[in-house]
Chains A and B, each alone.
Chain A
Amino acid sequence: MITGVEVALGIVKPEFMLTPVIGTSILNIVFIVLTLIKAAYIVQIFMHVKFEKKGLKYALYLPTLILIPYLTFILLTEGSYLFQ
């Protein structure tokens, strides 16, 4: 388990080093993907969800994984009409 944590940290470090060098939008996507990987690590291993019962997993995953992308989608599409 702790080795898994160390792998996650290994991903975190070089990410910081890259930051000031390049600033493309591809890099942003890489950042977001790495962030999601990091978040998954924290939730699954640190917060122990991986080892919980199925019902609890669904209770936690479904609201977050439906509502947050939904909110993001709504704001990104409808937000373009602001101040028009």
Chain B
Amino acid sequence: MASSAEMTQEENNWGGGSRPLGSRYGKLMMWFFLLSDALTFSGFLTAYGLMRFKFESTWPIAENVFTHFPGLEGDQPLLYVALMTFILIMSSVTMVLAVNAGEKMNRKAVTNWMLWTIVGGFIFVGSQAWEWYHFIIGDSGAVETVRQEILHIYNEEGERLSFSQVIHGMEEGHASNHGEMFTKAEVLSAMKSNEGMYLMEPGKAGEAFTHERSVALLEAGDVVQGANMIHNEYGQKQFANFFFFITGFHGFHVFSGVVINFIIFYNVLLGTYERRGHYRMVEKVGLYWHFVDLVWVFVFTFFYLV
């Protein structure tokens, strides 16, 4: 009797209907997709680390790059991105609650928590767009030499100067260029007239130049403002390329996550899963959403903290 039961089990393995690893196939496939995605992201991040070690002296320090907070003037290093991270983790928590409610077949609670998750995702994507905008517009401006090295302007007190401060003076409100564009001639004449100004590399162990050398470097070079794929006022241009690529790729994941979440949310509203008798779709998109959060934790550490 027992052996015949084993036989049917054996046949079922090939005939379908059994569940390997105690999971249904949709969930398993989601896991294998996430596994491959994790390896992709690890490739990006290690490549980023490699380039960063290579260009340590000109690699921008994240604290000096991401200094804006909506509605606040002045230097707010990393505050906004920390808030973004917090919002994304909170949306992951609400997703856990949605999955839990789904297991209990509590449609109202699933609807509620899914909605909060979508709201959190939207805020995150919006914040990312806002941060890209500020990164592209630029902040202080920099000098690019003929050898395409980026140098920042400092005064004799060792304070970093924006173009606005170099030309309009040190009054309040000039710490950022606020999108105003300056020409090379303007910056050059202002630098020539002030003996105390000099140029320095942006990295953690950056080299400083004398005033005469700085003027000569600017004369031969040019001024750059903002960051794009060709120029990057914050330092090594690879930083901008990696920033756009990795946060862009992650942002695309978040965006598609929000879209998928919305589709599932809509199905919850329609009662599709109530009729189907289970909320396993919520669990699957939940896995994807947590993965997005997981990747962000690493991106956050290696781009903004370390």
Binding site for B on A (CB under 8 A): 1-2, 5, 8-9, 12-13, 15-16, 19-20, 23, 28, 31-32, 35, 38-39, 42-43, 45-47, 52-53, 55-56, 59-60, 63-64, 67-68, 71-72, 75-76, 79-80, 82-83
Interface centre among A19, A52, A83 (most CB of B within 10 A): A19
Are A20 and B92 within 8 A (Cβ)? no
Contact B35 A9 (CB under 8 A): no
Count of A-B contacts judged by CB separation below 8 Å: 111
**Within the assembled complex, what's the spacing in Å between the Cα atoms of A71 and B92?**
29
Per DSSP, are chain B's interface residues mostly helix, strand or loop, or mixed? helix
- Taking CB atoms, residues of chain A closer than 8 Å to B78 are 16, 19-20
Q: Which residue on chain B has the smallest CB distance to residue A83?
A: B54
Whether A39 and B298, one on each chain, are in contact in the complex, defined by CB atoms closer than 8 angstroms, is: yes
Total interface residues in chain B, CB < 8 Å: 42
Which residues from chain B sit less than 8 Å from chain A, CB to CB? 20-23, 28, 31, 35, 38-39, 42-43, 46-47, 49-50, 53-54, 63, 77-79, 82, 85-86, 89, 92-93, 95-97, 204, 287, 290-291, 293-294, 297-298, 300-301, 305-306
Kindly state the separation between the CA atoms of A83 and B43 in the bound complex, as whole angstroms.
20
Please name all residues of chain A whose beta carbon is closer than 8 Å to the beta carbon of B96 when the two chains form the complex: 1-2, 5, 45-46
Q: A35 near B297 (CB under 8 angstroms)? A: yes
B297-A60 in contact (CB<8A): no
B54 x A82 contact (CB < 8 A): yes
Q: Do A47 and B291 touch across chains, with their CB atoms under 8 A apart?
A: yes
Q: Are A19 and B39 CB-contacts (below 8 A) given A31-B301, A53-B21?
A: no
List the A side residues contacting B42 at CB < 8 Å.
64, 67-68, 71-72
Tell whether, in the assembled complex, residue B77 and residue A47 are in contact, meaning their CB atoms are under 8 Å apart.
no
Is B298's CB under 8 angstroms from A60's CB? no
Q: Contact: A42 with B92, CB < 8 Å?
A: yes
How many Å from the CB of B280 to the closest CB on chain A?
A: 12
